[in-house]
C-alpha cells in the first residue's frame, strides 16, 4: 500500500487540505474508488476506509492481480466535514458539481481538477454516492447512461438492483458523468446512509465492490453470494410524493398534522414493488418524495 | 393585483407561496415580466422591483400594457440569507423547467416558468454573490444573442457579456423561457446581500426605456448609455494562487494595463505579502472581489480586454 497526497490546498489559517489516496498493486490503472466529496458523507468515507482495510489484506496475501493498480480516496472534502457543512464552507459550492474542474478556476474547480487528474485513465471508477434528501437507500448501484458504460457490468456488484439514469443538464458536471466522458466505466454505489454509519449497509457495499473486483479479475476475493442484479431504467421506477405537509410517521406511512395529530395524508403505494428509497426525517413538506419504488 | 402563482405546504403550519404583482393599464397587451430573488442572497432586484412598481403606480396613466413583478422566486432563501432552496441544498436556477408532477422544487419551478411564459420580454435580475461586485451588465448566450442583443442595448447597462452556452445552464430559468420564445435578459449587478442604489437607479431607467421601446410606456425617458459588447473581446480572469486576505489597490471600473499592480494577498500572521496581484491583460475591471478572505483559486477580478487592435475598453 502506498499512501500519497494527491492534491493540496492552503487555507489562510487552517492546516493545509491534503487529499489522500491509497494505492494498491502495480501497473495498469484498473479501479479508482472515491468516497466523501461532501462534508456529511460519513458513511461514504467509512465504506472507503473499510475498502482500504480489505485491500491491505488482499495485497498482503498476494491476491491483487498482476498489472493492476487500485486507488482509494476515502475523503476529498474533510475540510467541510470538520466544520459540519455539506458543501465547501467558504462559498457553499459542491465539488461534485465542478467536474472535470479547471485548474486555473475557482477553488472548488481547482480541487475537482486536481482530483480528476489523478482519477483519469482508470478502467473502472466507483463513487460512493449520497442523495440530497434525508433518507435511506436500499443498497444499489447506479450509472449514467452516456452510451459508454455497459449497464450489464452492474451485475458484477451482486446488489439487488442496478439502475440506469438518463443524465440531466445538471448531471453533466458530476464525477460519474465526466469519468465516462474520459472513458472510465463509472458507477455510483449507494450504501444507504449519509451522515450516520449503517454497519450492515456498509458491509454490503464493501462486499459488492469486492465482488465486482473479483469478477473483473482485479483481485481474488471470497465474498458471500450476491443477488442476481435486476437492471432497470430509472424512469421505470415510481416516486411517491407526500400529499400533505406535517409530521412524517414513516413506520406507519402517514403524515399527521403537527399541532393536532390528525392524519392529513396516508402514503399509499400506487404499485407493487420494492422500496429502494425511504424518506427519513420527522418533518415533511407537501410534494416531497417519501418513497421510491422499483415496480 | 397580487396573485399566488404556486403554493406548497411546508411541514409546520406554513405554505411556501410564490407571488407576483400584476400592474395593468390601457388596452395594450404587451407584457413585461420583472423577475428576481432566485438566489436568496441576491437582493439588488428587491429595490429595483420596488422602484419600478412604485413609479408605475404614481404614473399609471402612462402605462399601456401589463407589468408583472415577481420579487421573490425563492422566498425561503431570501428569508434565511440562503442562496439555494433551504433544506434541499438545491440551486433553484438548476431546476428549471421543473415538473408539474415532480417534487416541491420542481412543482414550484414549473409553475413559475409557465406563468412567465408568454411575456414579450422578461428581465431576470441577479446580483452576483457576496464575494464579487459586478458592474451593471446583461449576460446572454451565443445562440440567443441575435434575438436578445437589441433589447439588452435598451437596458442602460454598462456591459453586455455574450458567453458560450453550457449544457449545465440548460436548467436555468432564462434558458427555459428563451427556448419557449419568451425573450429573457439576465441582469447581473452589484454584490450579494446588499443594495446598491446607484445601480438600481441605472437599471430602473433602463427598464422604463425598454417599456418605451416596447410601446407600453407613454412617459418621457432619459437617454440610455451604450453598453460595451463583449463580441471580439476576451475576458481576463484574475484568480488568487494563494490563501490569505485580499486587499485591492485598483477600483471597480478602472482601466488597467497588463502587469499593473491591482492588489495584494496578505498574511496577517506573518505580516507578509504572499501574492502581489497583477492585471493579466489590458482592459477594464468589471468584476472585483468584495470579500477579503481567499483560497487558491478565489476569483479576484475580471478584466474586459479591448477589441483586438482597437481602442481600450
What is the length of chain A? 295
Could you tell me if B48 and B186 lie in one domain?
A: yes
The pLDDT value recorded for residue A251 is: 59
Q: Residue A273 falls within a domain, yes or no?
A: yes
Q: Which of B185, B201, B229 is the last residue of a domain?
A: B229
The pLDDT value recorded for residue B312 is: 43
Could you tell me if A259 and A189 lie in one domain?
A: no
Q: Residue B313 falls within a domain, yes or no?
A: no
Cis peptide upstream of residue A100 (ω within 30 degrees of 0): yes
Q: Is A278 on the interface with B (CB under 8 A)?
A: no
Q: Which of B194, B229, B264 is the last residue of a domain?
A: B229
Could you tell me if B29 and B173 lie in one domain?
A: yes
**CA-to-CA distance for B313 and B309, rounded, in angstroms?**
12
Which residues of A fall within a CB distance of 8 Å from B16? 285
Which residues of A fall within a CB distance of 8 Å from B242? 10
Q: Residue A172 falls within a domain, yes or no?
A: yes
Q: Which of B208, B229, B250 is the last residue of a domain?
A: B229
Query: Does the structure show a pLDDT above 70 at B288?
Result: yes
Q: Residue A233 falls within a domain, yes or no?
A: no
What average pLDDT does range B139-161 have in this prediction?
96
Query: Does the structure show a pLDDT above 80 at B311?
Result: no
Q: Do B9 and A9 touch (CB under 8 A)?
A: no
Could you tell me if A73 and A15 lie in one domain?
A: yes
Q: Do A91 and B129 touch (CB under 8 A)?
A: yes
Could you tell me if A157 and A218 lie in one domain?
A: yes
Q: Residue B311 falls within a domain, yes or no?
A: no
The 10 Å CB-count burial string (b at 16+, else e) for B242-264 is bbbebebebebebbbeeebebbb
The pLDDT value recorded for residue A252 is: 59
CATH code assigned at B297:
2.40.50.100
The pLDDT value recorded for residue B164 is: 86
Q: Which of A178, A206, A228 is the last residue of a domain?
A: A228
Query: Does the structure show a pLDDT above 60 at B313?
Result: no
Query: Does the structure show a pLDDT above 80 at B168?
Result: no
Could you tell me if B49 and B100 lie in one domain?
A: yes
Note if the pTM is more than 0.90.
Answer: no
CATH code assigned at B84:
3.40.630.10
Q: What residues are paired with B283 via a beta bridge? A: B256
Q: Which region among A269-283, B52-66, B214-228 has the lowest average model confidence (pLDDT)?
A: A269-283
User: Which class for B269: exposed (0-12), middle (13-18), buried (19 or more C-beta within 10 A)?
Assistant: exposed
Mean pLDDT, all residues of chain B: 94
The pLDDT value recorded for residue B231 is: 87
Query: Does the structure show a pLDDT above 50 at B130?
Result: yes
Q: Is A87 on the interface with B (CB under 8 A)?
A: yes
Q: Which region among A255-264, B60-69, B117-126 has the lowest average model confidence (pLDDT)?
A: A255-264
Give the structural domain span for A246: 238-294
Could you tell me if B213 and B136 lie in one domain?
A: yes
Q: Residue B310 falls within a domain, yes or no?
A: no
What average pLDDT does range B145-164 have in this prediction?
96
pLDDT per position as a tens digit, A173-204:
999 999 999 999 999 999 988 888 899 999 99
Q: Do A170 and B168 touch (CB under 8 A)?
A: yes
The residue whose grid cell reads 410606456 is: B217
The pLDDT value recorded for residue B40 is: 93
Complex ipTM? 0.76
Q: Residue B245 falls within a domain, yes or no?
A: yes
Query: Does the structure show a pLDDT above 70 at B28?
Result: yes
Residue numbers of B between 187 and 246 with CB closer than 8 Å to A: 237, 239, 242-245
Could you tell me if A269 and A151 lie in one domain?
A: no
The pLDDT value recorded for residue A124 is: 98
CATH code assigned at A173:
3.40.630.10
Q: Which of A173, A201, A228 is the last residue of a domain?
A: A228
Q: Is B169 on the interface with A (CB under 8 A)?
A: yes
A to B CB pairs, distance under 8 Å = 101
For chain B, how many structural domains are there in total?
2
The residues, any chain, with a CB within 8 Å of residue A13's CB and separated by 6 or more, are B269
Of the two residues B308 and B4, the one the predictor is more confident about is B4
What is the 3-class SS of chain A, one letter each residue? CEEEEEEEECCCCCCCEEEEEEEEEECCEEEEEEEECCCCCHHHHHHHHHHHHHHHHHHHCCCECCCEEEEEEEECCHHHHCCCCCCCCCCCCCHHHCCCCCCCCCHHHHHHHHHHHHHCCCCEEEEEECCCCCEEECCEEEEECCCCCCHHHHHHHCCCEEEEECCCHHHHHCHHHHHHHCCCEEEEEECCCCCCCCHHHHHHHHHHHHHHHHHCCCECCCCCCCCCCEEEEHHHEEEEECCCCEEEECCCCEEECCCCCCEEEECCCCCCCEEEEEECCCEECCCCEEEEEEC
Q: What percent of chain B has pLDDT over 70?
A: 98
Residue of B nearest to A134 (CA): B88
The pLDDT value recorded for residue B145 is: 96
**Shortest CB distance from B104 goes to which of A97, A239, A288?**
A288
Could you tell me if B33 and B59 lie in one domain?
A: yes
Q: Which of A178, A201, A228 is the last residue of a domain?
A: A228
Write out the three cell numbers for A257: 398534522
Give the structural domain span for B273: 235-304
Could you tell me if B137 and B249 lie in one domain?
A: no
Could you tell me if B45 and B154 lie in one domain?
A: yes
Which residues of B fall within a CB distance of 8 Å from A168? 171
Could you tell me if B215 and B277 lie in one domain?
A: no
Q: Do B167 and A169 touch (CB under 8 A)?
A: yes
What residues of chain A score a pLDDT lower than 70?
Answer: 250-252
Query: Does the structure show a pLDDT above 70 at B180?
Result: yes
Could you tell me if B255 and B281 lie in one domain?
A: yes
Q: Which region among A43-57, A142-156, B184-198, B297-311 has the lowest average model confidence (pLDDT)?
A: B297-311
The pLDDT value recorded for residue A136 is: 79
For chain A, how many structural domains are there in total?
2
CATH code assigned at A265:
2.40.50
Best residue of A83, A285, A291 to probe chain B, by most B CBs closer than 10 Å: A285
Could you tell me if A36 and A92 lie in one domain?
A: yes
Q: Residue B312 falls within a domain, yes or no?
A: no
Q: Residue B49 falls within a domain, yes or no?
A: yes
Amino acid at each position: 500500500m502506498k499512501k500519497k497526497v494527491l492534491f493540496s490546498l492552503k487555507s489562510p489559517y487552517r492546516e493545509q487540505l491534503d487529499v489522500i489516496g491509497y494505492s494498491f498493486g502495480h501497473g495498469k490503472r484498473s479501479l479508482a474508488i472515491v468516497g466523501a466529496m461532501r462534508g456529511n458523507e460519513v458513511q461514504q468515507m467509512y465504506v472507503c476506509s473499510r475498502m482500504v482495510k480489505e485491500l491491505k489484506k488482499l495485497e498482503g496475501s498476494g491476491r491483487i492481480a498482476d498489472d493492476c493498480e487500485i486507488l482509494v480516496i476515502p475523503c476529498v472534502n474533510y475540510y467541510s466535514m470538520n466544520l459540519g457543512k455539506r458543501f465547501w464552507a467558504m462559498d457553499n459550492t459542491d465539488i461534485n458539481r465542478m467536474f472535470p474542474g479547471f485548474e486555473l478556476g475557482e477553488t472548488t474547480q481547482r480541487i475537482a481538477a486536481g482530483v480528476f487528474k489523478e482519477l483519469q485513465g482508470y478502467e473502472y471508477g466507483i463513487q460512493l454516492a449520497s442523495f440530497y434528501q434525508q433518507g435511506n437507500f436500499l443498497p444499489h448501484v447506479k450509472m449514467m447512461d452516456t452510451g459508454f458504460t455497459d449497464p450489464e457490468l452492474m451485475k458484477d456488484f451482486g446488489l439487488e438492483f442496478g439502475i440506469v439514469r438518463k443524465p440531466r443538464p445538471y448531471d453533466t458536471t458530476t464525477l460519474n458523468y465526466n469519468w465516462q466522458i474520459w472513458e472510465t466505466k463509472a458507477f455510483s454505489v449507494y450504501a444507504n446512509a449519509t451522515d450516520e454509519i449503517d454497519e450492515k449497509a456498509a458491509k454490503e457495499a464493501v462486499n459488492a465492490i469486492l465482488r465486482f473486483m473479483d469478477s473483473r479479475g482485479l483481485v481474488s476475493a471470497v465474498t458471500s453470494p450476491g443477488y442476481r442484479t435486476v437492471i432497470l431504467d430509472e424512469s421505470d421506477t415510481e416516486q411517491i410524493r407526500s400529499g400533505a405537509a406535517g409530521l412524517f410517521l414513516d413506520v406507519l406511512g402517514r403524515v399527521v398534522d403537527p399541532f393536532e395529530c390528525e392524519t392529513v395524508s396516508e402514503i399509499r403505494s400506487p404499485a407493487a414493488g420494492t422500496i429502494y428509497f425511504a424518506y427519513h426525517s420527522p418533518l415533511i413538506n407537501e410534494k416531497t418524495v417519501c418513497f421510491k419504488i422499483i415496480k | 393585483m397580487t396573485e399566488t402563482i404556486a403554493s406548497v405546504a411546508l411541514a409546520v403550519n406554513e405554505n411556501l407561496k410564490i407571488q407576483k404583482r400584476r400592474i395593468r393599464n390601457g388596452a395594450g397587451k404587451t407584457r413585461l415580466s420583472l423577475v428576481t430573488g432566485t438566489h436568496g442572497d441576491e437582493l439588488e432586484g428587491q429595490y429595483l422591483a420596488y422602484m419600478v412598481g412604485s413609479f408605475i403606480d404614481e404614473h399609471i396613466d402612462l402605462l399601456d400594457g401589463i407589468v408583472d413583478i415577481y420579487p421573490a422566486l425563492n422566498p425561503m432563501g431570501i428569508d434565511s440569507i440562503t442562496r439555494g432552496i433551504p433544506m434541499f441544498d438545491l440551486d433553484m436556477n438548476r431546476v428549471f423547467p421543473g415538473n408539474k408532477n415532480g417534487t416541491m422544487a420542481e412543482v414550484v419551478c414549473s409553475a413559475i416558468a409557465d406563468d412567465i411564459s408568454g411575456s414579450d420580454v422578461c428581465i431576470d435580475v441577479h446580483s452576483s454573490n457576496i464575494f464579487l461586485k459586478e458592474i451593471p451588465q446583461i449576460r446572454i448566450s451565443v445562440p440567443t444573442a441575435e434575438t436578445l442583443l437589441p433589447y439588452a442595448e435598451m437596458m442602460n447597462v454598462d456591459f453586455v457579456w455574450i458567453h458560450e452556452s453550457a449544457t449545465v445552464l440548460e436548467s436555468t430559468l432564462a434558458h427555459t423561457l428563451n427556448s419557449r420564445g419568451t425573450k429573457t435578459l439576465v441582469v447581473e449587478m452589484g454584490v450579494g446581500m446588499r443594495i446598491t442604489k446607484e445601480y438600481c437607479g441605472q437599471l430602473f431607467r433602463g427598464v422604463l426605456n425598454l417599456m418605451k421601446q416596447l410601446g407600453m410606456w407613454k412617459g418621457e425617458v432619459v437617454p440610455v448609455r451604450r453598453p460595451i459588447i463583449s463580441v471580439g473581446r476576451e475576458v481576463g480572469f484574475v484568480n488568487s494562487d494563494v490563501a490569505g486576505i485580499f486587499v485591492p489597490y485598483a477600483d471597480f471600473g478602472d482601466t488597467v494595463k497588463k502587469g499593473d499592480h491591482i492588489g495584494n494577498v496578505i498574511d496577517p500572521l506573518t505580516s507578509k505579502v504572499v501574492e502581489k496581484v497583477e492585471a493579466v491583460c489590458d482592459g477594464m475591471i468589471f468584476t472585483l472581489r468584495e470579500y477579503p478572505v481567499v483560497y487558491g483559486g478565489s476569483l479576484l477580478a475580471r478584466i474586459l480586454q479591448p477589441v483586438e487592435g482597437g481602442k481600450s475598453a
